[in-house]
A and B are shown apart, each in its own frame.
Chain A
Amino acid sequence: MLCVLAHKDWDFLSIAKETLAMQPPRTRTQREVAPAEHPSGDPRFALIDRTLKRFRFQQDALIEVLHTAQEAFGFLEEDLLLYVARQLKLPPSWVYGVATFYHFFSLKPQGEHNCIVCMGTACYVKRAAEIVATLQAAYGIEAGHTTPDGKFSLNTARCLGSCGLAPVLIVDGEVLGRETPEGTLAAVQAAVAGKAAPKVAVSANGVDEEVELP
């Protein structure tokens, strides 16, 4: 009897040891090296996971998570929205509703270069509409769309908060103030040509910027 018990004990211990051996050791570094990966293996999902964890998977953090997702991926595709919905245990319709409600979230890919024209009151008074019309005509796209080759996106903003410099626009992250339709077109063309043209000098408000050949 004792022998049987001892044998059973022994058996239990060995099983426990084996199970322990199968699990990776629970150290901090190990978890950082191998986070729970999305099935696609895209490392950008790790960024979303980090935000999810920071907000402890609270459903209230949806907008913050979508901000991170858009920053990581550039736009919110369906798959991404579904992933966020599943992680936060929200119905997909809810996530889709929020993503389409706010102007900031884009469900379509953006062009390589972009131009955001401010359409605030001050800019409107100083004829920003003419700038938009010029760009629309030059690239054959409506505001809020991307050219078919994916090179250039034209967007409008409600107000960029730099009304003293109206009309204001942002070309590839650089704020340009007191623009004219011609000046804008030149700046945009230079930005889009960017790498293709040899040594383009972008003149934006007296700041000369030289673009090197790749």
Chain B
Amino acid sequence: MNRADLQTMAQREQEKQARFQCRLLCCASTPCLSSGGAAVQQALQDAIKESEASAEVAVVSTGCMGPCSRGPVVTVQVQGEDDVYYENVTPETARQIVADHALAGQPVQEKLLPSDLPFFAKQTKVVLSNSGLIDPERLEDYVARGGYLALAYALREMTPEEVCVEISQSGLRGRGGAGYPTGLKWDLVRKAPSDKKYVVANGDEGDPGAYMDRTLMESDPHRVLEGMAIAGYAVGAEQGFIYVRGEYPVAAKRLERAIRAAERRGLLGSRVLDSSFSFRIDIRIGAGAFVCGEETALMASIMGRRGQPVPRPPYPAQSGLWGHPTLINNVETFGNIVPIIEHGAQWYAGIGTEKSKGTKIFALAGKVENTGLIEVPMGITLREIVFDIGGGIPDGREFKAAQTGGPSGGCIPPQFLDTKVDYESLKALGSIMGSGGLIVMDDQSCMPDVAKFFMEFCMDESCGKCVPCRVGTVQMYRILQRITDGSATLQDLENLEDLCTMVRETSLCGLGQSAPNPVLSTLKYFRNEYEDHIERRTCEAGVCEMTEVPVMALVEELPRRIRAAA
């Protein structure tokens, strides 16, 4: 297949879609399926068959549309009209949608999502521009929306060096959390002398509370593949790997199908788009280890070993998989490549703030009205995310903190709600951008308990290679355990702070270095809660049971307990 064939294919598919008077897009991603999406889709299809309208109305199962808490979601696309969204669709509503809206042109009012909802209006869809509009299992759908044209353009019109310069100029930074400039990384790998190089997409989204990568891989797999192929061309690699979490079987299945479809059409494999460039992509399924999100551990896992990190340097850009230069980027970073090549670096650099360009996908969850997946321009304030897009806190409760960055991040208190969300300002607040999980907490959350939750996570996930992380996380967890059960003293709090600094400064990899972040940030902004737990033995949020007493107080406590038991 060459560029002309690609355009013919796109045109043919567009014409085919234009023949339908109305298209019903039914979300088929995990959250919607688990709230009954499959039955809805079946009902839509049955209703169309019954009314013998299959020539005019088509049902398409798509990827995620965003408002996951309102699922199953159905979008109705009538020609010449704006898209209409329906929420909480049941099989009955589905039949009604077909009869009233698709055939008679009368929207069903009761389950209608208002089109001016801030949830949609405040978003800027760059990476997710196809998500929810195409069938992820069909290559034609992706091509019809301009897919693989960016790859064709890069292969024909640009040198590898120019691609790297373009990415550098766009200001794109790694979406995995640390925010390393992507163009710089590409250029390093490009310049590294070696006859063999690799490209790796990191889809090991271990952060609890984050699911951007899963959605991207499930909803628009070809975009990730195309981004990887462009990266392969830019750095001179012929082999790519996608490392998918074991917990995401649907994503792995869709990627595998996408790779096969693209290879069959000559969009991947040998001689991509009739050029001299060859690029193969293989999938590696993770086996459940958070530390594998760290790049050196991830490479060890791809090579079939225990996912334990090794000290850097040498960086993967010099010596990665099997000793060859390796480019590792997050799946979301690869999702940004296609729009940059398509619209140019200038356009991309126009979105976002001075130092953080482009958009970021967040998984908005926790105690907030609209949970789901959102894509917002960098520099939006937290208040806009939580109260406009998220719709505020349910049940009239009060906002207490927003947690970003998972176990490596921190909690942001209400006084910083007007902070602009970008890499630098989140770091200044003691949190990190992370991969994009954003959990909203209300006054029912107890901060020492939250810190304990994350510490338990880090303790379990520590790979055990370096002592500060292996032993330090256990000790910190024990102290937090004492704080939340009421047996801590002020000395414990002091020790906890010392340990935090020690573990942060001396751990081998990012997991250990950032493990104290949740404790440090909650100590910084919610120190009074820690002190309440220790000095007054009370938990304001009512989460901790506080049944224990400090060892020194046992002398007075024991007789009381014996009396109570008797």
User: Which B residue sits closest to A157, measured CB to CB?
Assistant: B247
Min CB–CB distance A172 → chain B (angstroms): 13
Interface-lining segment among B189-197, B299-307, B329-337, B544-552: B299-307
Chain A stretch 166-200: residues in CB contact (< 8 A) with chain B: 166, 168, 174-177
Chain A residues with CB under 8 A of B307: 101-102
Binding-face segment, B31-39, B100-108, B508-516, B526-534: B31-39
Kindly state whether residue A206 has any CB partner on chain B within 8 Å: yes
How long is the Cα–Cα vector from A67 to B245 in the complex, in angstroms?
13
Q: Is the CB of A126 within 8 A of B366?
A: yes
A120 closest partner in B (C-beta): B208
- Determine if B367 is an interface residue (Cβ-Cβ < 8 Å): yes
Residues of B within 8 A of A165 (CB): 31, 34-35, 68-69, 71, 371
B457 contacts A158, C-beta separation under 8 Å = yes
> Most A CB atoms within 10 A — which of B30, B36, B284, B365?
B365
Docked CA distance A59–B300 (Å) = 12
Whether B207 is near chain A, meaning CB under 8 Å from some CB there, is: yes
Q: Distance (Å) between the CB of B224 and the closest chain A CB?
A: 16
The CA of A158 and the CA of B270, in the complex, are separated in Å by 39
A98 touches B306 (CB 8 A): yes
> Would A102 and B289 count as touching, CB distance under 8 A?
yes
Q: Are B306 and A101 in contact (CB under 8 A)?
A: yes
Question: A158 contacts which of B288, B301, B305, B373 (Cβ < 8 Å)?
Answer: B288
Minimal Cβ-Cβ distance residue in A for B34: A175
- B: interface residue count bin: 35 or more
**Is B68 touching A207 in the complex (CB atoms < 8 A)?**
no
Chain A 120-160: CB-based contact to B (< 8 A → 1; otherwise 0) = 11111110000000000000000000000000000001111
The stretch of B6-14, B125-133, B421-429, B437-445 in contact with A is: B437-445
Question: Given the complex of chains A and B, what is the CA–CA distance between A36 and B514 in angstroms?
Answer: 50
A101 vs B301: C-alpha distance when bound (angstroms): 11
B440 to chain A: closest residue by CB: A125
Docked pose: A59 CA to B463 CA in angstroms = 22
Q: A119 at the A/B interface (Cβ < 8 Å)?
A: yes
Contact A177 B287 (CB under 8 A): no
Name the distance in Å between B331's Cβ and chain A's nearest Cβ: 13
The answer to whether A63 and B304 touch (CB under 8 A), given A163-B437, A176-B34, A177-B35, is yes
Q: A159–B366 Cα gap in the complex (Å)?
A: 13
Q: Judge whether B208 and A205 touch: CB under 8 Å.
A: no
Q: Contacting B371 at CB < 8 Å: which of A61, A120, A121, A163?
A: A163
Interface string of A88-121 (1 = CB under 8 A from B): 0000000001100111110000000000000111
How far does the Cβ of A107 sit from chain B's closest Cβ, in whole Å?
13
Chain B CB within 8 A of A81 CB: no
Which of the 9-residue segments B209-217, B260-268, B377-385, B556-564 touches chain A? Answer: B209-217
Shortest B72–chain A CB gap in Å is: 10
What 0/1 pattern do residues 41 to 67 of A give for CB contact below 8 A with B? 000000000000000001111111011
Q: With contacts A60-B303, A159-B207 known, is A67 near B34, CB below 8 A?
A: no
Q: Once the chains bind, are B209 and A163 in contact (CB under 8 Å)?
A: yes
With known contacts A164-B69, A177-B34, A177-B35, A63–B287 Cβ distance under 8 A: yes
Q: A162-B30, A177-B35 are in contact. Are A62 and B69 (CB under 8 A)?
A: no
List the A side residues contacting B445 at CB < 8 Å. Answer: 125
Residue contact A161 to B371, C-beta cutoff 8 Å: no
Q: For B68, list chain A residues within 8 Å (CB).
A: 162-165
Determine if A121 and B306 form an interchain contact, defined as CB atoms under 8 angstroms apart.
no
CB distance from A1 to the nearest CB of B (A): 60
Q: Is B285 on the interface with A (CB-CB < 8 A)? A: yes
Determine whether B62 belongs to the interface, using a CB cutoff of 8 Å to chain A: no
Question: Per-residue 0/1 for B387-412: is the Cβ within 8 Å of any A Cβ (1 yes, 0 no)?
Answer: 00000000000000001001000000
Selected from A103, A120, A126, A206, the residue in CB contact (under 8 A) with B36 is A206
B246 is an interface residue with CB less than 8 A from chain A: yes
Q: Is B205 an interface residue (CB 8 A)?
A: yes
Query: In the complex, which residues of chain B have a beta carbon less than 8 angstroms from the beta carbon of A120?
Result: 208-209
- Whether A166 lies near B306 (C-beta < 8 A) is no
Q: Are B439 and A125 in contact (CB under 8 A)?
A: yes
**Interface-centre pick from A64, A66, A98, A161 (highest chain B CB count, 10 A):** A161
Q: Is the CB of A158 within 8 A of B206?
A: yes
Q: Which A residues touch B454, using CB under 8 A?
A: 121
Find chain A residues with CB under 8 A from B453 CB.
121, 124
B290 within 8 A of A: yes
Q: How far is the CB of B321 from chain A (nearest CB, A)?
A: 9
> What residues of chain B lie closer than 8 Å to A159, measured between beta carbons?
206-211, 247
B352 at the interface (CB under 8 A from A): no
CA distance A168 to B371 in the complex (A): 14
* Complex contacts, A163 vs chain B, CB 8 Å: 68, 209-211, 363, 365-366, 371, 437, 439
Query: B329-377: which residues lie under 8 A (CB-CB) from chain A?
Result: 363-367, 371-373
Expressed in whole angstroms, the minimum distance between the Cβ of B202 and any Cβ of chain A is 15
- Cα(A175)–Cα(B34), bound, Å: 5
Determine how close the nearest CB of chain B comes to the CB of A142; give it in whole angstroms.
14
In this complex, the member of B248, B304, B367 whose beta carbon has the largest number of chain A beta carbons within 10 angstroms is B304
Q: How far is the CA of A119 from the CA of B209 in the complex (A)?
A: 9
| List of B residues within 8 angstroms of A97 by Cβ | 306
Contact A66 B287 (CB under 8 A): yes
Q: Is B90 part of the binding interface, using a Cβ–Cβ cutoff of 8 Å?
A: yes
B366 pairs with A122, CB closer than 8 A: yes
Partner pick for A207 among B39, B210, B366, B403, CB 8 A cutoff: B39
Question: In the bound complex, what is the Cα–Cα distance between A101 and B306 (angstroms)?
Answer: 6
State the CA gap A151–B115 with chains docked (Å).
49
Q: Name the B residues within 8 Å of A162 (CB-CB).
A: 30-31, 34, 68, 211
- Determine whether the beta carbon of A125 is less than 8 Å from that of B367: yes
Q: Indicate the member of A67, A97, A104 with the most B CB atoms within 10 Å.
A: A104
**Could you name 21 residue pairs across A and B whose Cβ atoms are closer than 8 Å?**
A60-B303, A62-B305, A101-B463, A104-B286, A120-B209, A122-B439, A124-B453, A125-B365, A125-B445, A158-B208, A159-B207, A161-B245, A161-B248, A163-B365, A163-B371, A165-B34, A165-B35, A165-B371, A166-B371, A206-B90, A207-B36
The 9 closest A-B pairs by CB, nearest first: A164-B68, A120-B208, A102-B287, A103-B288, A121-B209, A175-B34, A163-B365, A122-B365, A161-B211
Interface residues of B (CB under 8 A from A): 30-31, 33-36, 39, 68-69, 71, 90, 205-211, 214, 245-248, 284-290, 301-307, 363-367, 371-373, 403, 406, 437, 439, 441, 445, 453-454, 457, 461, 463
